[in-house]
């Protein structure tokens, strides 16, 4: 029998594909770790496609979570493997999901491939083919589901995979329609566990492991045949007449660190009970309804995936299949998105984890799972965490986290104000810039922005922080930093009428950055000049309201940042900074595009804002709402481009804060919708404290006023409807 390496070679390609289930009747699913070894692409420096690669053209993911179990469903149009598969991880172990091969059932690739649904028709085994499989988020009776539709001969197969509000329980709803059969045909469906000994217990086919128990069952009246000797669960055989449709609900149970005596639930009963709990939970979350499909779809995709990005205990992998680590900035911005999606409980758990484990008593914040030396700290993380905490307090009304972690939060707030971090101008300085490259000691625009923002938000939270006596000082320091950033005679981060990224402590404008490249084909290795600008972070002071979005300064800055769009590729998107300065992954970065999107929208540059939103909605990864950190240009780096929760958080924030225009000014809600020109009406049902905030926006245009719980309230001169601090929820119907 051929080895897996021989099967993967060019001379054995047909036999290799046969083992994958395409070129032979009822062939078992097996695989090599890589395909097409020795191919022309590999000879020119491109690594061969592999099951373990995070990024392959046409490969996308859906992220689901039930309790402690994280399930990542993969859709793949490459043609090398079945088009719809899944991987299972421990959501509380951020390092495990850093690599596909660490999944509980990966098993040298074979276990992963066995997660494909097989349909036996006429003695042939069909699995989903990439070029004939359509995937999207869909609705499974009020529960978001990852859907795949494909063909097995004349049978149309629909799979809907979704998570339940029960520990480690997922549903795989299967639907077969005899859409193009000429007569009655007999068919059998098969779901498999990794190839290992299994047993039947309490109606489940289970595979025991000291780390994880994985089990399959069918619910309802389905005729299921457990085949422990094959580690498979078969449905059927059944006969389908032309035009007939049959449906099955199957369950996947994942028990992490199982005990010997753990009982297995009765499949039909647990599906009914947990299904209703799950529907109630999703009704509680926030939603948007509009005929503008881009706006509705992108918000739905972001909010459907966000709850899976953060474990129930608050742990989050900053980059699935890439990092396996944690940063305060990534978690804070993801939690900010969860808040705006109405997932308050999970946001609370995430903040609790950050404050307990990712901020130390000195106020230093975690970078890549560790604490850096003072000269390499990321000052933005204080502001991002405080800003997200304020949003959580504002939206949920819960200030318990602030009260419980007062001492640590005060240390966090005041850490950047220590003398060793302060420039004579009042700004903060160090050697690490926002994107984590080490360069000349200097003042970074993003750090001034977030430190000032954090100080302002800290002053607003001084009451529950028990720091009322420090609020005025924090506001004064925020003003001092912003004034220096914008107007200092020799140190201001402004040149040629626009914002700049960085100025050395000497006063020199930092125009280039040299940093060791991580691979031989990245720009820091292949190019001589490495520009520091333009940089996507230049948009942040505008997006966060620290620079007037309608000012000349904002306009000139955004015009300059426009150079990051389609810089050295096709298809859209912004680089995080000029590609020549890239030490690893050049290409369009999704969350960098989100920074610019938010600033463009607030500046009413709607054509560019819309272009960016359409790009984010349709780019690889955006089609499923599990955005890659970037679409890589460097061949050596492509396999490690992972999925980030941060981008989903940015999308959720953009829709609620910038497009719907729901913001807080102090303790008051300030509402100023900013729909796209020619937009249809938009309705939003947003979770707000103990109730709801229900918005009705008839269309674009300057807001004249609104009926707030039936009472007419005029807009202020700037078109903003400012609600009283006593408002606790209800309906707001705008007049434009």
pLDDT at 48: 60
Cα end-to-end distance, the chain, whole Å: 73
The 10s digit of each residue's pLDDT in 664-673 is 998 899 999 9
CB distance 269 to 220 below 8 Å: no
**Do the strands 668-671 and 662-665 form a parallel or antiparallel pair, or are they unpaired?**
antiparallel
The structural domains of the chain, ordered by start, are 1-50 (no CATH), 117-282 (no CATH), 285-304+321-638+645-659 (1.50.10.10), 663-735 (no CATH)
Give the three-state DSSP class for 156.
strand
| Burial bucket for residue 153 (CB in 10 Å: 0-12, 13-18, 19+) | middle
pTM of the model: 0.93
Mean pLDDT of 287-307: 98
Counts of helices then strands in the chain (DSSP H, E): 19, 32
- Phi and psi for 544 in degrees, rounded to 5? -95, 5
CB distance 252 to 168 below 8 Å: no
pLDDT at 40: 41
The 10s digit of each residue's pLDDT in 567-603 is 999 999 999 999 999 998 899 999 999 999 999 999 9
The 10s digit of each residue's pLDDT in 620-651 is 999 999 999 999 998 888 888 899 999 999 99
CB distance 707 to 720 below 8 Å: no
d(CA 25, CA 12): 17
pLDDT at 9: 33
pLDDT at 514: 94
The 10s digit of each residue's pLDDT in 367-386 is 999 999 888 999 999 999 99
pLDDT band at residue 47 under the 50/70/90 scheme: low
């Amino acid at each position: 029998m051929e080895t897996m390496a021989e099967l993967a070679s060019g001379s054995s390609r047909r036999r290799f594909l046969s083992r994958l289930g395409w070129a032979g009747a009822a062939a078992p699913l097996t695989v090599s770790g890589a395909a097409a070894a020795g191919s022309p692409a590999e000879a020119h420096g491109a690594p061969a496609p592999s099951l373990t690669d995070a990024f392959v053209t046409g490969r996308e993911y859906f992220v689901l979570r039930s309790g402690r179990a994280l399930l990542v469903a993969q859709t793949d149009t490459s043609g090398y493997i079945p088009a719809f598969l899944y991987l299972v991880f421990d959501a509380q172990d951020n390092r495990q999901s850093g690599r596909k091969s660490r999944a509980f059932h990966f098993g040298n690739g074979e276990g992963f491939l066995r997660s494909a649904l097989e349909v036996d028709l006429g003695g042939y085994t069909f699995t989903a083919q990439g070029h004939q499989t359509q995937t999207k988020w869909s609705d499974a009776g009020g529960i978001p589901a990852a859907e795949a539709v494909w063909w097995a001969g004349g049978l149309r197969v629909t799979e809907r995979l979704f998570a339940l509000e029960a520990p480690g329980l997922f549903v795989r709803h299967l639907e077969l329609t005899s859409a193009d059969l000429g007569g009655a045909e007999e068919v059998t469906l098969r779901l498999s566990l990794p190839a290992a000994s299994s047993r039947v217990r309490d109606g489940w086919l289970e595979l025991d492991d000291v780390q994880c128990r994985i089990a399959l069952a069918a619910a309802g009246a389905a005729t299921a045949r457990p085949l422990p000797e094959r580690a498979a669960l078969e449905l059927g055989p059944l006969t389908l007449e032309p035009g007939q449709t049959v449906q099955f609900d199957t369950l996947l149970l994942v028990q992490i660190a199982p005990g010997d005596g753990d009982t297995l639930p009765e499949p039909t009963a647990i599906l009914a009970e947990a299904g209703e709990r799950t529907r109630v939970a999703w009704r509680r979350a926030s939603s948007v309804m509009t005929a503008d499909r881009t706006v509705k779809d992108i918000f739905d995709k972001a909010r459907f995936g966000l709850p899976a990005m953060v474990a129930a205990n608050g742990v989050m992998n900053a980059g699935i299949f890439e990092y396996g680590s944690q940063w305060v900035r990534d978690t804070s911005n993801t939690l900010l998105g969860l808040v705006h999606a109405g997932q308050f409980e999970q946001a609370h758990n995430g903040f609790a984890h950050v404050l307990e484990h990712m901020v130390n008593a000195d106020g230093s914040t975690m970078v890549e799972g560790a604490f850096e030396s003072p000269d390499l700290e990321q000052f933005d993380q204080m502001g991002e965490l405080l800003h997200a905490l304020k949003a959580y307090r504002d939206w949920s009304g819960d200030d318990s986290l602030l009260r419980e972690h007062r001492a640590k939060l005060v240390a966090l707030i005041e850490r950047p104000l220590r003398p060793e971090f302060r420039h004579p101008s009042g700004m903060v300085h160090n050697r690490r810039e926002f994107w984590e490259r080490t360069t000349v000691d200097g003042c970074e625009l993003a750090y001034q922005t977030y430190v000032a923002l954090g100080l302002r938000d800290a002053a607003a939270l001084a009451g529950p922080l028990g720091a009322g006596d420090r609020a005025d000082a924090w506001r004064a320091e925020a003003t001092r930093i912003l004034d220096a950033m914008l107007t200092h005679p020799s140190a201001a981060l402004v040149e040629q009428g626009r914002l700049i990224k960085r100025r050395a402590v000497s006063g020199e404008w930092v125009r280039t950055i040299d940093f060791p490249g991580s691979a031989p084909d990245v720009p820091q290795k292949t190019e001589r000049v490495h520009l520091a600008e333009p940089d996507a972070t230049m948009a942040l002071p505008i997006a966060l309201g620290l620079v007037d979005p309608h000012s000349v300064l904002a306009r000139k800055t955004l015009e300059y940042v426009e150079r990051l769009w389609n810089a050295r590729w096709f298809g859209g998107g912004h680089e995080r900074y000029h590609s020549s300065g890239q030490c690893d992954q050049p290409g369009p970065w999704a969350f960098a595009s989100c920074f610019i999107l938010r600033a463009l929208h607030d500046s009413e540059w709607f054509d560019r804002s819309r272009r960016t939103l359409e790009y984010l909605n349709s780019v690889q990864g955006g089609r499923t709402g599990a955005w890659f950190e970037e679409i890589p240009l460097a061949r050596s780096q492509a396999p490690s481009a992972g999925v980030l929760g941060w981008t989903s958080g940015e999308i959720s924030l953009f829709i609620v804060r910038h497009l719907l225009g729901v913001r807080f000014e102090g303790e008051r809600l300030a509402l100023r919708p900013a729909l796209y020109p020619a937009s249809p009406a938009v309705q939003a049902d947003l979770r707000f404290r103990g109730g709801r905030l229900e918005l009705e926006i008839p269309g674009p245009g300057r807001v004249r006023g609104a009926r707030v719980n039936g009472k007419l309230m005029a807009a202020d001169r700037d078109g903003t409807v400012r609600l009283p601090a006593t408002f606790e929820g209800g309906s707001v119907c705008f007049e434009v």
